[in-house]
Amino acid sequence: MTPMVDTFAVILIFLLLTSQMRSPEPANVDMPFSISETPIPDVNSMTFLISNDSKVYFNVDNGPDTTLKFRRKILEEMGKAYNIEFTDKELTLFEKYPSPIGLPIQNMKDFLNANSAERKNMETGIPIDSADNQLSMWILYARQVNPNVRATIKGDSETEIPAVQKVLNILQEKNVNRFNLVTSLEAVKINLDEIQK
């Protein structure tokens, strides 16, 4: 029995040290593959999650320092722009919320006060049409609060391209021209002799 316990202890410690918690995502995303080996940045990134039903979700991190509390400031700015007063409790809830959010800012108050089961039904995607382009506002304030923020796009491989292009266009209107596309690693080896024929 002892060797078995030892093995389990080793596996357990290994998992504890090497893995990181996976934050739950509002939509299931099946990432495309690429040969890129650059790891995804931990801080200073705003993530645009585009699900395969073309809904857009937005996420931003709190910044490299725990005292910065960027998310809190961004929501405050958004509240000011849309005349919504967020209480201190709601701001803290948003600051700690780990997943991307995808809903109109008008529903944000109810969303933050709801429980997790109710929250699921409220995520309808961030409005991105030109009449009410809330995504562009999120980008504006995210960049105002944290000027070092980089755009990361996480799309499902089945998402139709117009949805992605819309998000890219909105970003380009805000002068964001560098993007990180999230992919899974896939090794590719090219045989030189093969191409010489």
Partner 1 sequence: MAEIIQAEKGGKGGKKRAKKLLPHMDMTPMVDLMMLLITFFMLTTSLSKSKVMEMILPPKLKDPNAEPPKIIASRTLNILLGPENKIYWYTGGVSPDEYNNLPPVRETDYSAEGIRALLLERNRALFRKINDFEQQVLEGKIKIPRDSVQSAISKLKTDDDTGPIVLIKAYKKANYGNFVDILDEMNICGIARYTIMDIAFYENTMVEKAAGITPSTASTN
Among residues 173, 182, 157, 169, the alpha carbon closest in space to that of 46 is found at: 182
If binding is defined by CB under 8 A, does position 41 make contact with partner 1? yes
If binding is defined by CB under 8 A, does position 50 make contact with partner 1? yes
Among residues 73, 78, 48, 96, the alpha carbon closest in space to that of 146 is found at: 73
Backbone Cα Rg of the chain: 20
Q: Which segment (6-14, 65-73, 118-126, 133-141) binds partner 1 by CB under 8 A? A: 6-14
If binding is defined by CB under 8 A, does position 181 make contact with partner 1? yes
Q: Which segment (67-75, 76-84, 127-135, 179-187) binds partner 1 by CB under 8 A? A: 179-187
Residues within window 114-153 making contact with partner 1, judged by CB under 8 A: 152
DSSP 3: H
If binding is defined by CB under 8 A, does position 66 make contact with partner 1? no
Let me know: does 45 contact 61? Beta carbons within 8 Å. yes
Q: How many Å apart are CA 30 and CA 25, to the nearest integer?
A: 12
Binding interface with partner 1 (CB under 8 A) = 1-2, 4-5, 8-9, 11-12, 15-16, 18-22, 31-41, 50, 152, 155-165, 168, 172-173, 175, 177-185, 188, 190, 192, 195-196
